[in-house]
Amino acid sequence: MNATAPGTPPNPPQSTGTLMPLVSFRRHRRIALMVMAVVVVFGAGFAWVKGKAVYSATAVLYVAPHFVNILKESKELDIPAYDQFIEHQALTVPRYDILLESLAKLGDRRYVWQKKKESDRRAAERLQAALEVKPVKDSYLITVTLESTTPDHLDELVNTIVDTYLEKSRESDSFFARNVRLTSLRERRGQIQGEIDAKLARRTEIAQELSVTTFSEQLASPYDKLLIESQNALAMAQRNRLASEAALALFEDRKSGQDAIAAAAFDTIQKDPGLISLKGSLYKRRSELLQQASGLDPRHPLKIQIDREFKEIDEELNRTVAKLTEQVAKSFIDQRKADVKRDRQIEQELSLQLESFRQKASWFAALYNEALSLSDEIERSRKQLDMIDERIEFFELESRAPGFVRVETYARPPELPVKGGRKKLFAVVLVLALALGAATPVGLDMLDQRIRTTGQVAKIIGHRPVAWFVEHHGSPDLKRMSADQLRRLAIAVNREREMHGSRLVSLTSVKPEAGVTDLALDLAAELGVLGVPTVVVEADPLRPDPRYRGGSAQPGLADLLAGSGEVTAAVVPAAGGLPARLGTGTAPGRQLFAYPALRRCLDELKAAYDLVLIDAPPLLLSADAEYLVEIADVTLLLVGAGQVKPGELRRAAGILEKIDPKAVGFVVTRLEVYRGGGYYAKLAEEFALAASHENGQKHTSRRLEG
């Protein structure tokens, strides 16, 4: 028996299988036919009133993927993303200003579209809504289509819209705001030309001031050579000044100055012609005196006179040398001072000259560099001027060239309507009626929340039902299916008894009319066939069943609970196709009482029978059902198909989970079998095929025996 205690892991959810259109149509065919009839009636009237012929006029535009220029290529006219560009063009055609201008161009014929007393804005907006502009997939084409119930001048209106769009596209798409841009370019050209003239005038002034005719970075400044020569001369003068100052400082030094002067004077005196002449005459006289004194006695008067004259000659020579030395030393000092003064004067003059050259060179360089900068700026301005002139020429030429878009085919006058006749509209109504007639039953079944299949039960509770029973309505094939399910359920209950010792089985339901009493009696009878003594106890004082009654004096369960009668004597024996059973009897109220006495009665029945089946009241409507579930070994919860909603089943499952019974099984009853399909219908066909095969074998065996 597939009985599972609450808390065991549920099986994976199964498909409910509730979407069966043919079954839904059979179930709600009256509603479906009513819906179709209503749609056909009202649709016929609608088709008669609104069924007007609709005419169409279509023009085709060609959007080039590349712009063919007249003068030269321009990056401004490239299409970076063609798909987006063609979508943009398709959205531009029905632009409000284009349609308004198109209506204005029609003049008096605009009233083929514009209604009487209709404003221009309203007519343009209505035309904007009616105009259909679509890019043709995998091509460079755009179709412009307008539909109307009046074919007169419809093609003329479409062609006027296309022509107006082309005019606007040449002005805006290829060169946006061409006139404004040309004006801006011309203004900029005038500014640049004025700047060039001013810079040329300034460069001419600089040329006149510097006395040059050309300005080039390769030409050297004339002051550069003068600066180099002046710097060299100043360096030489500084070296001469340093030398003269050093020579003067040497002579003026107190310690070594006299020796230096003496050495310099000695060298100069030795070269003095007067001194040389004097020395010559004195040396000659000295030679003569030496000759005269030769051989004379030192005391000789002549010798003494000659010695005195030698002394005078030496004194004269010393005086002359000393005088010359003093004169030469003074001359040397004066000469060094004069040299220092001269060198200083030269250095000062050269410094002034160099500074003057530097100032003139800086002045020259500043003006010359300014002139060079002006030349560069003039050159750049002239290049900008050339670019602007080219751009202006490009605008003037290319603005008159064909643009990205051109007309591939103009719209032609419509001859035949394309849609909208009464017959076509009525055919649409018929299709709509059939669709609604088919969808309404399915929608009603989808909106119906009641459980109709075992798959829904399995999906909600997470377990497959132990058994299921269909409504046979006298069909022998369906009866065989139910008998097979009853036998399977009896075997499962008996298996629980043999394996787990489960002898007390409680049968309850989520809601009334689930067939609990029928199943309890049939299950007990089937168990009796299997050789398992079984008794059924009616424990539902809400709705007593007459099949449980015995004689008028036969006590019932209520009497036993009240303490009168014996349990075994109260049981009605099996007879007439009914199993052994114990009815409720005359209960004092709508609920059971004396639960301990009820337990003793059930224990006595278990001692007398192998299985005791309790026909319990619905779980959601009776608290007694909870108690019976609690004391039972096995609980079978019946779910009536077409009666129970998912929320009610979840609530019943929650109650069972709170009670925590030993074992629980779910049984689905009152299932409907439809010829439209489904698992039960296929199974019924298989049972019928098996029965026919069995009957054929029996007929064959009888014929052979005969």
Task: Return the CATH number at 159.
Answer: 3.30.1890
d(CA 91, CA 626): 71
- In the predicted structure, residue 16 carries a pLDDT above the cut 70: no
d(CA 638, CA 541): 18
Which residues make Cβ contacts (< 8 Å) with residue 453, sequence separation at least 6? 16, 17, 18, 641, 668, 671
- In the predicted structure, residue 600 carries a pLDDT above the cut 70: yes
Helical segments of 211-272, H only: 222-252, 257-270
Nearest by Cα to 441 from 7, 80, 26, 17: 26
CATH number at residue 471: 3.40.50.300
Task: For residues 684 and 578, state if they share a domain.
Answer: no
Does 545 reside within a domain? yes
Task: For residues 662 and 683, state if they share a domain.
Answer: no
- In the predicted structure, residue 5 carries a pLDDT above the cut 50: no
Does 293 reside within a domain? no
Among 148, 175, 202, identify where a domain stops: 175
Helix (H/G/I), strand (E/B), else coil: 117:
coil
Determine the straight-line distance between the first and last CA of the chain, rounded to whole angstroms: 45
Residue 668's pLDDT is 92
Does 263 reside within a domain? no
Task: For residues 143 and 46, state if they share a domain.
Answer: no
Q: Kind and range of the H or E element at 685?
A: helix 679-705
Structure-block tokens of residue 597: 């006495």
- In the predicted structure, residue 474 carries a pLDDT above the cut 80: no
- The CA-atom distances, in angstroms, between 126 and each of 49, 111, 389, 684 are 22, 13, 46, 63
Buried (b) or exposed (e) across 401-428, using 16+ Cβ within 10 A?
eebbbebeeebeebeebeeeeeeebbee
Highest mean pLDDT among 30-34, 186-190, 321-325 belongs to: 186-190
Buried (b) or exposed (e) across 571-592, using 16+ Cβ within 10 A?
bbebeeebbbbbbbbebeeeeb
Does 248 reside within a domain? no
Task: For residues 682 and 659, state if they share a domain.
Answer: no
Q: pLDDT band at 441, cuts 50/70/90?
A: confident
Q: Tokens 């804005």 — which residue?
A: 121
Among 175, 190, 212, identify where a domain stops: 175
- In the predicted structure, residue 72 carries a pLDDT above the cut 60: no
Q: Average pLDDT of 198-209?
A: 82
The three state secondary structure string of 565-585 is CCHHHHCECCECCECEEECCC
Structure-block tokens of residue 422: 């009464």
d(CA 683, CA 692): 14
Does 522 reside within a domain? yes
Nearest by Cα to 460 from 191, 701, 645, 682: 645
d(CA 304, CA 312): 12
Task: For residues 634 and 503, state if they share a domain.
Answer: yes
Q: Which domain holds residue 34?
A: 21-51+421-447
Residue 437's pLDDT is 75
- In the predicted structure, residue 8 carries a pLDDT above the cut 70: no
Structure-block tokens of residue 135: 């890019």
Express each pLDDT in 251-266 by its tens digit.
Answer: 666 565 555 666 666 6
Domain tally for the chain? Answer: 4
Q: Which of 128-142, 219-233, 376-390 has the lowest mean pLDDT?
A: 219-233
Nearest by Cα to 379 from 212, 195, 214: 195
Helix (H/G/I), strand (E/B), else coil: 637:
strand
d(CA 649, CA 637): 10
> What letter does residue 109 receive in the DSSP assignment?
G
Residue 638's pLDDT is 93
Structure-block tokens of residue 413: 């006058």
> What letter does residue 546 receive in the DSSP assignment?
G
% of the chain residues with pLDDT over 70:
71
Does 220 reside within a domain? no
Please count the residues of the chain.
706
- The CA-atom distances, in angstroms, between 473 and each of 102, 476, 673 are 75, 9, 10
Helical segments of 253-300, H only: 257-270, 273-293
Task: For residues 477 and 595, state if they share a domain.
Answer: yes
Task: For residues 467 and 552, state if they share a domain.
Answer: yes
Does 290 reside within a domain? no
Express each pLDDT in 623-681 by its tens digit.
Answer: 888 999 999 999 999 998 888 888 999 999 999 999 999 999 999 998 877 665 556 66
Residue 14's pLDDT is 38
- In the predicted structure, residue 516 carries a pLDDT above the cut 60: yes
Helix (H/G/I), strand (E/B), else coil: 146:
strand
Task: For residues 623 and 649, state if they share a domain.
Answer: yes
Residue scoring higher pLDDT (61 or 149):
61
- In the predicted structure, residue 704 carries a pLDDT above the cut 50: no
How many helices and strands (H and E) does the chain possess? 21, 11
Structure-block tokens of residue 638: 């019946």
Among 133, 158, 175, identify where a domain stops: 175
d(CA 579, CA 382): 121
Task: For residues 465 and 552, state if they share a domain.
Answer: yes
Q: Kind and range of the H or E element at 172?
A: none
Helical segments of 6-153, H only: 21-27, 29-50, 82-92, 96-106, 120-130
Structure-block tokens of residue 637: 């919860």
Task: For residues 63 and 47, state if they share a domain.
Answer: no
Residue 633's pLDDT is 93
Does 409 reside within a domain? no
Mean pLDDT estimate for the chain: 77
Task: For residues 630 and 688, state if they share a domain.
Answer: no
Residue 2 is which amino acid? Answer: N
Task: For residues 489 and 545, state if they share a domain.
Answer: yes
- The CA-atom distances, in angstroms, between 567 and each of 46, 165, 554, 556, 612 are 77, 102, 11, 9, 13
d(CA 167, CA 104): 15
- pTM of structure: 0.46
- In the predicted structure, residue 228 carries a pLDDT above the cut 80: no
Cβ-contact 215, 375 below 8 angstroms:
yes
